[in-house]
């Protein structure tokens, strides 16, 4: 319900609903950054004017229904297989923009092989993945990114690294391979970081438009529902607890990528 | 086009190229790697898509992605690789998009060996992945037949927007024989309206197998079943040899089906009225015809390179109207004419008693 | 009317409060006693006069609730070059 309001003559529009987003109400929990990052992707698509060229690949995870929210062609992949599907799509649609949107479990556990190999081949696809240190969709079990000592529904005594290993540094791993030309870790917790994340997503898409190689943007994010915190508190927790394990930064940026002018 | 001496694996790969194959994704596995090797050069020469994937899991999901863009796409593998593909196959089936998968079966279970086998019948025909679905399963028995079946596979896959498997075996893949390839076909340029190719001037397309509501998913399943019923009504294929006067029937497919033509000839020389039915589609299965013949003959002998998998379908079809016996070899052993002939004689004695 | 204004799509709001935290002039609050169609206490503007049109709320809102307007810049008088 939007109340019809009269906009005074001397006012100009500063922010409006992105065209690349449908008006469908999302199923996300209140304050979930999935919503923020969806919106950023939509804004980038609008600003680059590529809505009619995009093919998205949805993951399995909380964002499984992203296809309902973005106004572009979409396919739904099996858990972790989005980069392989994106490869099939891009190779047969070389003039289109193909992106995957994934969760940390999707990309760093079950789908780590597909992701690393797609990156290594330098597939001309872009990946945006949400690292919320947990399996959101299935009810808060340990993810490959869960912090040591962190209590989840499958690590009731906290993640014991002797039993379950350490948080997987996905972006650092992706940055190792030659085919990946732009790999960055951002977060979506406050105004500045959200703006930076948007710029990173835009650069990633521009890398693809310029045909430079594989690009990936990791976004540190929260899951207030499964972390048992309020939405704002959860965002503070990201900054305080996650960054020591997942330092922000750009792990790979070739000179050609650097030369792209991202407005 | 003239006949030439062709190896099965190369033949089906080249047949796919000439049928307008636009993309191939695969992972090497014996006994079908020659297909992947052939395509690695051919597809690139022709400016088409070839990619050696990091696993069969990735390969089938690449096939899934390419199939979503509405191109002619295929992969080929053997048992262990097919096991890995079942995840993607189920998604492809759930999304109702066309794709062709060739399995040149080898000995199992486990790593098994690289000898010919038919032990993936259950896997391909019955299970093939989670959920209720059936691929069309074609079963060639010669190099020429696998060439012809590749064209048919694409045609059926696209006609019904369904998965089509070709159930070959190591023998057909490795065998050299004289066969004729189809003429080179133009690659289709246009993409179907349902494909995800970017929503240019139209509403976005979605290719999906997720339906959260039980009712909605049941509807999808009902639609799927309706389509399968239609396939069942129109696409059952088999070949019969000397069944008019037969009072004993051999039932076998693929390489064994071919061996059984010799068995039948030998048996006839000995005065036994033996016929042969060789299913060319394992799904849909020639149930009715086998049921009819069960009313005509005194007994049936099913022969497979397995412990008896198609046997269950033959028994189901015969429905007790005649005795159904089985002879199988496993582990990559190909049954010889003499062995099967001895089983036919045994059957003859048993049913004469 | 102040320098800016926001239009709120009340029924999209999930009452998460993120916008309330980031509004630099502190004019956003969750309505304590009303519910929207989804059953959340939606965001309200307590004093639109103070809105600067900075779009901070729109930047953080996960549910695209805000449309933001700002006063057009008045063309400044340009001194005539001598
Ligand atoms: C093959 C397979 N295994 C397991 C699942 C169940 N499953 C669904 S979502 C999910 C975890 C997703 O976590 P993540 O990728 O971190 O995304 P989030 O939900 O946190 O956004 C799992 C294990 C599945 N759908 N498929
Ligand atoms: S469970 Fe967590 S990740 Fe999933 S929608 Fe809710 S807050 Fe977001
Ligand atoms: S950030 Fe958005 S959803 Fe959350 S309270 Fe503010 S307007 Fe509502």
Query: Using a 6 Å cutoff on CB, does residue A140 contact ligand 2?
Result: no
Q: Is some CB atom of chain B closer than 8 A to the CB atom of A195?
A: no
Place of tokens 């700002």: C70
Q: Model confidence over A72-112: pLDDT tens digits?
A: 999 999 999 999 999 999 999 999 999 999 999 999 999 99
**Cβ burial, residue A102 (10 Å; 0-12/13-18/19+):** buried
Distance (Å) from CA B123 to ligand 1 centroid: 26
Contacts of B88 in chain A (CB under 8 A): 78, 81
Q: What percent of chain B has pLDDT over 90?
A: 98
Predicted local confidence at residue B353, as pLDDT: 75
Residues in A closer than 8 angstroms to B71, CB to CB, are 92
Best of A24, A51, A84, A137 to disrupt the B interface by mutation (most B CBs within 10 Å)? Answer: A84
Alpha carbon B189 to its chain's center: 27
pLDDT of residue B127: 82
Task: Give the Cα separation of C55 and B19 in Å (integer).
Answer: 56
Which tokens hold the place of A90? 């891009």
Q: Which two tokens stand for residue A206?
A: 């521009």
Q: Whose CA is nearest to atom 1 of ligand 2?
A: A136
CATH number for the domain including C52? 3.30.70.20
Q: Which residues of B touch A72 (CB under 8 A)?
A: 198-199, 204
Domains of chain A in start order, with CATH, are: 34-138+165-258 (3.40.50.970)
Q: What is the pLDDT of residues A122-170, one digit of tens each?
A: 999 999 999 999 999 999 999 999 999 999 999 999 999 999 999 999 9
Residue C30 forms part of a structural domain: yes
Query: Does ligand 2 have an atom closer than 6 angstroms to the CB of A197?
Result: no
Q: For position A6, what pLDDT does the model report?
A: 83
Residue B117 and residue B123: Cα distance in Å, rounded?
13
Chain segment B303-336, per-residue pLDDT in tens: 999 999 999 999 999 999 999 999 999 999 999 9
Whether residue B59 has pLDDT greater than 80: yes
For residue A7, pLDDT beyond 90: no
Whether A2 has a pLDDT exceeding 60, the answer reads no
Please compute the mean of the pLDDT values over residues B265-274 and round it to a whole number.
Answer: 97
C19, part of any domain: yes
d(CA A222, CA A235): 6
Structure tokens at A108: 């760093």
Whether C78 is covered by a domain: the verdict is: no
By DSSP bridging, strand B206-207 and strand A73-76 are parallel
Q: Do A72 and B64 touch (CB under 8 A)?
A: no
Q: How confident is the model at residue B149 (pLDDT cuts 50, 70, 90)?
A: very high
Which residues in chain B have their CB less than 8 angstroms from residue A76's CB?
95, 206-210
Measured between beta carbons, which residues in chain C are less than 8 angstroms from residue A5? 7
**Pairwise CB contact (< 8 Å): A1 & C55:** no
Measuring CA to CA, how many Å separate A193 from each of A31, A198, A219, A252?
16, 9, 10, 19
**Which residue numbers of B have CB closer than 8 Å to A's CBs?**
22-23, 25, 49, 51, 53-55, 57-59, 61-69, 71, 73, 87-88, 91, 95, 196-201, 204-210
Residue nearest to atom 6 of ligand 1 (CA): A138
User: Which pLDDT does position C49 carry in this prediction?
Assistant: 96
What average pLDDT does the structure give for chain A? 97
Residue B61: C-alpha distances to residues B162, B163, B272 (Å): 16, 14, 51
Whether residue A31 and residue C17 make contact (CB cut-off 8 A), yes or no, is: yes
Token pair 């002018």 in the structure block, residue: A261
pLDDT of residue A1 exceeding 60, the answer is: no
pLDDT at B1 over 90: no
Tell me, in angstroms, the distance from the centre of ligand 2 to residue A230's CA: 12
Q: Is residue C75 scored above 80 in pLDDT?
A: no
Q: How much is the pTM?
A: 0.94
- Which atom of ligand 1 is the closest one to the Cα of A102? 15
CA of B27 to the centre of ligand 1 (A): 26
Identify whether C76 is part of a domain. no
Confidence of residue A5 (pLDDT cuts 50, 70, 90): confident
Question: In terms of CA atoms, which chain A residue is nearest residue C67?
Answer: A16
Pick the residue whose CA is nearest to atom 22 on ligand 1.
A138
Residue B201 clears pLDDT 90, i.e. is over it? yes
Domain annotation covers residue C77:
no
Mean per-residue pLDDT for C12-36?
Answer: 97
In a domain, C80, yes or no: no
Atom 7, ligand 2: residue with shortest CA distance? A223
Checking if the pLDDT of C82 tops 60, the result is: no
How buried is A236 (Cβ within 10 angstroms: 0-12 exposed, 13-18 middle, 19+ buried)? middle
Please give the Cα distance from A236 to B220 (Å, whole number).
44
**Domain of C33?**
4-70
Domains in chain B and their CATH numbers? 4-196+205-234 (3.40.50.970), 239-352 (3.40.50.920)
- Mean pLDDT (whole number) for C29-41: 96
pLDDT at B275 over 60: yes
pLDDT surpassing 60 at residue B43: yes
Average pLDDT, chain C: 93
The arithmetic mean of pLDDT across residues C42-61, rounded, is 97
Q: Among positive and negative, which fits the CA dihedral B242, B248, B253, B254?
A: negative
Cβ separation A39–C17 shorter than 8 A: no
C79 found inside a domain: no
Structure tokens at A7: 């906009």
Instruction: Judge whether C30 and C23 are in contact, CB under 8 Å.
Output: no
Query: How far is the C-alpha of B162 from the C-alpha of B110, rounded, in Å?
Result: 29
Residue-level pLDDT at C2: 86
CB of C15 within 6 A of ligand 3: the answer is yes
Please, are residues B133 and B126 in contact by the beta-carbon 8 Å criterion? no
- Residue B182 to chain A, least CA–CA distance (Å): 24
Classified as helix, coil or strand, A43 is: helix
DSSP letter assigned to residue A109 = I
Ligand 3 pocket member C23 (CB < 6 A) = no
What integer pLDDT is reported at residue A215 of this predicted model? 98
pLDDT (0 to 100) of residue A3: 59
A14/C66 CB distance under 8 A = no
Residue bearing the bigger pLDDT, B2 or A28 = A28
Ligand 3 near C14 CB (within 6 A): yes
- Ligand closest to the CA atom of residue A131: 1
- Give residue B318's pLDDT: 98
Q: Which strands form A180-187's sheet, in the order they lie side by side? A: A249-253, A180-187, A214-220, A126-131, A97-103, A54-58, A73-76, B206-207
Q: Is residue C75 part of a domain?
A: no
Number of structural domains chain C divides into: 1
Distance, in Å, from the CA atom of B103 to the CA atom of B124, rounded to the nearest integer, reads 9
Output helix, strand, coil percentages for chain B, rounded to the nearest 5.
45, 20, 35
Say yes or no to pLDDT of C48 above 70. yes
| HEC sequence for chain C | CCCEEEEEEHHHCCCCCHHHHHCCCCCEEECCCCCCCCCCCCEEECCHHHCCCCCHHHHHCCCCCEEEEEECCCCCCCCCCC
C65 vs C57: CA distance, rounded Å: 9
Place of tokens 């009452």: C15
């Amino acid at each position: 319900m939007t109340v019809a309001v009269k906009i005074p003559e001397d006012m100009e529009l500063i922010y409006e609903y992105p065209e690349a987003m449908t008006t469908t109400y999302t199923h996300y929990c209140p304050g979930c950054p999935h919503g923020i990052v969806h919106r950023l992707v939509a804004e980038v698509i609008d600003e680059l004017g590529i809505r009619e060229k995009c093919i998205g690949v949805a993951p399995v995870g909380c964002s499984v229904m992203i296809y309902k929210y973005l106004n572009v062609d979409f396919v739904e992949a099996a858990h972790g297989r989005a980069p392989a599907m994106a490869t099939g799509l891009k190779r047969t649609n070389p003039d289109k923009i193909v992106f995957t949107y994934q969760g940390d479990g999707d990309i760093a556990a079950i789908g780590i092989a597909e992701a690393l190999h797609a990156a290594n081949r330098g597939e001309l696809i872009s990946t945006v993945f949400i690292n919320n240190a947990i399996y959101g969709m299935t009810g808060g079990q340990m993810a490959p990114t869960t912090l040591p000592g962190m209590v989840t529904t499958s690590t009731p005594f906290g993640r014991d690294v002797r039993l379950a290993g350490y948080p997987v540094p996905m972006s650092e791993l992706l940055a190792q391979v030659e085919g990946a030309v732009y790999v960055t870790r951002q977060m979506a917790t406050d105004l500045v970081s959200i703006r930076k994340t948007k710029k990173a997503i835009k650069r990633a898409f521009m890398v693809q438009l310029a045909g430079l190689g594989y690009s990936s943007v990791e976004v540190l994010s929260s899951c207030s529902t499964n972390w048992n915190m309020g939405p704002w508190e959860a965002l503070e927790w990201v900054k305080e607890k996650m960054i020591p394990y997942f330092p922000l930064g750009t792990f790979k940026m070739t000179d050609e990528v650097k030369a792209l002018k991202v407005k | 086009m003239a006949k030439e001496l062709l190896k099965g694996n190369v033949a089906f790969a080249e047949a796919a190229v000439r049928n307008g194959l636009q993309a191939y994704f695969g992972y090497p596995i014996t006994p079908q790697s020659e297909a992947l090797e052939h395509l690695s050069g051919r597809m690139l020469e022709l400016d088409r898509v070839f990619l050696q994937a990091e696993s069969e899991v990735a390969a089938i999901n690449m096939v899934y992605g390419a199939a979503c863009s509405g191109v002619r796409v295929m992969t080929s593998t053997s048992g262990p690789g097919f096991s890995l593909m079942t995840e993607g196959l189920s998604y492809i089936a759930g999304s109702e998009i066309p794709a062709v998968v060739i399995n040149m079966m080898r000995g199992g279970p486990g790593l098994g060996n690289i000898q010919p086998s038919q032990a993936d019948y259950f896997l391909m025909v019955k299970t093939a992945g989670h959920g209720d679905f059936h691929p069309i399963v074609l079963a060639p028995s010669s190099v020429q037949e696998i060439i012809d079946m590749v064209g048919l596979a694409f045609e059926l896959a696209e006609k019904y927007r369904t998965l089509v498997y070709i159930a070959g075996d190591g023998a057909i893949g490795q065998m050299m024989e004289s066969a004729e390839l189809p003429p080179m076909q133009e690659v289709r340029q246009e993409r179907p309206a349902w494909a995800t190719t970017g929503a240019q001037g139209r509403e976005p397309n979605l290719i999906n197998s997720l339906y959260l509501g039980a009712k909605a998913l049941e509807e999808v399943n009902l639609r799927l079943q309706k389509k399968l019923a239609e396939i069942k009504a129109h696409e059952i294929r088999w070949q019969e040899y000397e069944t008019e006067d037969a009072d004993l029937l051999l039932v076998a497919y693929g390489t064994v089906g071919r061996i059984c033509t010799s068995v039948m000839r030998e048996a006839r020389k000995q005065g036994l009225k033996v016929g042969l039915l060789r299913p060319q589609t394992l799904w849909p299965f020639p149930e009715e015809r086998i049921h009819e013949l069960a009313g005509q003959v005194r007994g049936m002998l099913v022969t497979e390179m397995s412990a008896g998998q198609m046997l269950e379908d033959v028994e189901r079809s015969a429905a007790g109207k005649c005795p159904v016996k089985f002879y199988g070899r496993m582990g990559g052993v190909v049954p010889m004419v003499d062995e099967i002939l001895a089983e036919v004689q045994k059957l003859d004695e048993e049913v004469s008693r | 009317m102040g320098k800016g204004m926001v239009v709120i799509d009340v029924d999209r709001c999930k009452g998460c409060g993120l916008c309330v935290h980031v509004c630099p002039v502190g004019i956003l609050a969750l309505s304590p006693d009303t519910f929207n169609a989804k059953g959340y206490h939606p965001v309200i503007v307590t004093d639109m006069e103070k809105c600067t049109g900075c779009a901070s709320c729109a930047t953080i809102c996960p549910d695209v609730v805000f449309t933001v307007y700002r006063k057009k810049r008045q063309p400044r008088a340009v001194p005539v070059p001598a």
